[in-house]
Amino acid sequence: MRGRMGTLSQVSGPPVYVCVCNGVTEHDIRHAAAGGCASMAELTMRTGCGACCGTCVDAACAMLDELRPAPAGDVVPFPLSSRAA
């Protein structure tokens, strides 16, 4: 999935909608992740992604997992729930 997601960000053209219900694009999710968004619950609060029908949740979680920075070598990562409660 990493290869496909990386390719999408490099393609110019119309936006790639992840959440059709709330008009959230792949760019919106990348922008939120760059701003520190690290969980699906937080993404929902920031963008509305996943707040309606939920069809987009798997794709949005996969994008957040891909975009989450790797933990530093000596830091124990805090466990995150990737799905909204």
What is the domain-level CATH number for residue 31? 1.10.10.1100
Residue 77 lies in a domain: no
Neighbours of 12 (CB within 10 A): 4
Query: The domain containing residue 63 runs over which residues?
Result: 2-67
Is residue 26 scored above 90 in pLDDT?
Answer: yes
> Residue 33: which of 1, 61, 3, 4 has the closest Cα?
61
pTM above 0.75, yes or no: no
The predicted model gives 52-70 an average pLDDT of 91
> How many independent structural domains does the chain possess?
1
23-44 burial, b for 16+ CB within 10 Å, e for fewer?
A: ebbbebbbebbeeebbbbbbbb
Is residue 77 scored above 70 in pLDDT?
Answer: no
Residue 57 lies in a domain: yes
